[in-house]
Structure 1
Amino acid sequence: MATQDRYPLELKGHDKPMVRFAHVTKRYGSLTVLDDLNLDVAEGEMVSIIGPSGSGKTTVLRTLMTLETINEGIIYVDGKPLTHMPKGGTLVPADSRYQRHMRTNIGMCFQNFNLFPHMTALQNCMEGPVQVLGLSKAEARERAEDLLAMVGMIDKKDQHPSRLSGGQQQRVAIARALAMRPKVMLFDEVTSALDPEVIGEVTNVIRKLVSEFRLTMLMVTHQMGFARDISDRVCFFYGGKIEEQGPPDELMGNPKRERTQRFLSAVKEAD
């Protein structure tokens, strides 16, 4: 059970965050991956999460997508609890039906695209709106074609993923996620499987999303230049907590914490 004074049934007010991690802890056995994490992300904010392997970065995204359950705390999306649901005046762990409903607010693009191989680019983008949102095929097609055009893939709409390059597949994956009209978009290492010359085209697509949709975005990345270019805020994770955070130029140009300095120095040497 969640106590109502610490975890309200709903976040209200004009300044409520789009995403809130409130005292979130995630363990795998004796290993604590997220340690009493508190993180607010404002509507329309673009936050990049960086840090060494095992620091909890991807777990942030996986718990937001409800791919992982949390052990303590509560995650809120658009003011409403995601991991819990109201019952009898308090919050209890959410059941699968409640989470399915809440998850329609969130879209995710994975490192390895995860497109349906037996479907064309257009069919990939239509499937969710038809099956989950209940759109007619005509409505879903119109929405899918608009989004494929926006990411520069309308000429490839009838191609299967196997006929597309990595950058093209990633752009289709972004269009597919957007077809569900999410309020929050999650990107997990979306450029790491791409050739360097292709990273720019995916970056440009994400920039376009920022300008055309008031999307809230969280992105895990090892590409420091990508994070610097596209973020409003960068969070450096270490040991399941936010060690340091701030605007990208400030955090990357003049980090205050020793662990942040060591990490950024090691990344620079690796490049």
Structure 2
Amino acid sequence: MQDVTGFPLELAGNDMPMVSFRQVHKAYGPLVVLDDLDLDVAPGEMVSIIGPSGSGKTTVLRMLMTLEQINGGCIYVDGKPLTHMPRNGDLVPANQRHLRKRRADIGMCFQHFNLFPHMTALENCMEGPVQVLGLSKAEARDRSEELLEMVGMIEKKDQHPSRLSGGQQQRVAIARALAMRPKVMLFDEVTSALDPEVIGEVTNVIRKLVSEHNLTMLMVTHQMGFARDISDRVCFFFGGKIEEQGPPAELFGNPQKERTRQFLSAVREAV
């Protein structure tokens, strides 16, 4: 990991971002996936990330979930370093204990649900709060039932994942992530594995989160209409960088960069 001398030990100020990528670099050998990325996400902001395959979109989320190590720069969440930790007045690469502690602020829903098959919907939601947060089973049950109610799955709480449709499983996965009370929610192509007729089940839940909960959210999606409707800001990634970003109406209605125009034109033709 590259030297981070000069990066602040913590971020501060009234306009402090909830998520901040500072010159974040990620490469696999000669293949550069993120090229000194700078990206700030404000508290309560919903940011959608779009772009062609291989542009670095999902890598942004994987870095935030500490599923992969960055090669340079630093990532902050809620003002504190995620990828690094303070030591003797400097930042050093984070150890596993630091990563586990900081990762508790972040929830993620994947494309392929990843529910525990041997557990019911309710048990899936209770597991993290009990095992990681130390809640009593009664507290975890109350919290999980409230969230399953919110996503429209309370009547299926005693069903195992094999008895649920794809859309139902994804809604349980969202409730499970929310049960950990994250400050930041990440959505990685959460509708791409679903049949078209059930996509609305999941997008409606995310719309509800945006309108009713003050969560900071980042979403990687190929659904341009959904990104346009739900986002505060859309970032178009190309070649490991943000090629263009702005409010949805501006980016979709009047893109300034040729690569953005080409991508949006190709997406429209494919629909």
Q: Output the amino acid matched with 1:157.
A: K
CA distance in 2, matches of 1:124, 1:247: 36
Return the TM-score normalized by structure 2: 0.98
State the SS of the aligned residue for 2:107.
strand
Q: What one-letter code is carried by the residue in structure 2 that aligns with 1:76?
A: Y
Residues in 1 aligned to 2:116 and 2:225: alpha-carbon distance in whole angstroms: 30
Q: Take 1:63 and 1:13, find their aligned partners in 2: how far apart are those partners?
A: 24
CA distance in 2, matches of 1:167, 1:43: 28
Counterpart Cα distance in 1 of 2:55 and 2:96: 28
CA displacement, residues 78-119 of structure 1 (integer Å, 9 cap, x when unaligned): 000000000000100000000100000000000000000110
1:16-67 deviations in whole A, cap 9, x for unaligned? 0000000000011111000000000000000000000000000000000000
Unaligned runs of 5+ in 2: none
Superposition RMSD on alpha carbons, in Å? 0.7
Aligned partner letter, 1:58: T
SS in 2 for 1:148: helix
Contact 2:86 2:92 in 1 (8 A): yes
SS in 1 for 2:32: strand
2:71 is aligned with 1:96: no
What amino acid is the match of 1:14?
N
Matches within 5 A, 1:92-241: 92-241=92-241
Q: Tell me the TM-score normalised to structure 1 length.
A: 0.98
Find the aligned partners of 1:13 and 1:259 in 2 and give their Cα distance. 35
- Given residue 231 of structure 1, which amino acid in structure 2 is its aligned partner? S
Whole-Å separation in 2 of the counterparts to 1:21 and 1:2: 13
The residue aligned with 1:2 is: 4
Question: d(CA) in 2 for partners of 1:253 and 1:170?
Answer: 31
Instruction: Supply the AA of the counterpart residue of 1:116.
Output: F
Equivalent residue for 2:247? 247
SS at match of 1:25: strand
Secondary structure of 2:218's match? Answer: strand
Cα separation, 1, equivalents of 2:209 and 2:219: 14
Q: 1:187-240, CA deviations, whole angstroms, 9 ceiling, x for partnerless residues?
A: 000111112222222111111112232100000001111111111100000000
2:46, 2:251 → 1: CA distance?
15
Alpha-carbon distance in 1 for matches of 2:208, 2:255: 29
In 1, the alpha carbon distance for the partners of 2:191 and 2:253 equals: 22
Aligned partner of 1:42 in structure 2 is 42
Q: Percent identity?
A: 82
Q: Distance in 2 between matches of 1:213 and 1:86?
A: 32
2:261 aligns to what? Answer: 261
Is the CA contact 2:210–2:230 (under 8 Å) kept in the aligned structure 1? no
Deviation, structure 1 residue 242: 0.1
After the TM superposition, list the runs of 4 or more consecutive aligned residues in structure 1 that deviate by more than 3 angstroms: none
Question: For residues 88 and 258 of structure 1, what CA distance do their matches in structure 2 show?
Answer: 47
Q: State how far apart, in whole Å, the 1-side matches of 2:71 and 2:163 are.
A: 42
Letter in 2 for 1:11: L
SS at 1:14 equivalent:
coil
SS in 1 for 2:52: coil
Q: Please give the alpha-carbon distance, in whole angstroms, between the structure 2 residues aligned to 1:56 and 1:65.
A: 15
**Contact 2:237/2:244, CA 8 A, preserved across alignment:** yes
Q: Which residue is equivalent to 2:27?
A: 27
Query: Could you tell me how far apart the structure 1 residues matched to 2:228 and 2:213 are?
Result: 20
**Unaligned 5+ runs, structure 1:** none
SS state at 2:256 partner:
coil
Which residue type is aligned with residue 246 of structure 1?
G
Counterpart CA distance in 2 for 1:17 and 1:125 is: 29
Instruction: Give the aligned residue type for 1:34.
Output: L
**Which of 83-92 and 190-199 deviates more?**
190-199
